[in-house]
Structure 1
Amino acid sequence: MYDEKELITSPLQQHFRENGKTVEVCIYRLPDTGWTLEIVDEYNNSTVYDDEFASDEAALALFLAEVKAEGIEAFIGPVPGTLLH
């Protein structure tokens, strides 16, 4: 089992803003794994990609391509306390 101290974060992690909305782009890995991409919105909703990436650049490139294709709204979840139908 890994210790949290072993988590490697990418220097490409960032807050990304578009159309007045901001998400945090988290890119990280453990010592012997590929890179994980996680997007956290302003309401603390999280989208974690199932597949690992060979590089942190590849993870960021996928995120940017998806924002270009779908818009940042695709990564914004519900406001806490709202009911989904």
Structure 2
Amino acid sequence: MAKEPKLEHSDFSGEFEDDGITVLVDIHRPAGSEDGWTLEVISQEDDVTTWEDTFETDKDAWEEFLATTERDGIRSFFGEEDEESVH
């Protein structure tokens, strides 16, 4: 069985609340690497939204999350049952 790589999590990662709804924002990359940052948002119902592309900086990922929330609303991270959303 392959081991999961250790991840470095951004300081921007954590819970985010808007309109009475809380989601978990997870911005990470493989530990010790200079790879791009992955952005994932996990809803209270465990819906996972993952961006296909990585971001050059963790701040870029955070700003994309904020822009998406502003444009589409926090409820946009709630998908259909058993469906993973990709941005």
- When normalised by structure 1's length, the TM-score is 0.82
Q: Unmatched 5+ residue regions in structure 2? A: 83-87
Higher Rg of the two aligned structures: 1
Letter in 1 for 2:25: V
Q: Secondary structure at the match of 1:23?
A: strand
1:43 is aligned, of 28, 42, 45, to 45
User: Could you give the per-residue CA deviations for residues 9-36 of structure 1, whole angstroms, max 9, x where no partner exists?
Assistant: 1111021111111110000001242100
Partner of 1:58: 60
Question: Structure 1 residue 5: deviation in Å?
Answer: 5.8
**Alignment length (residue pairs):** 79
- Backbone CA RMSD of aligned residues: 1.9
Partner of 1:15: 15
Structure with greater helix percent: 1
Q: Unmatched 5+ residue regions in structure 1? A: 81-85
Partner of 1:83: none
4+ residue segments displaced more than 6 Å? none
Question: Structure 1 residue 65: deviation in Å?
Answer: 0.6
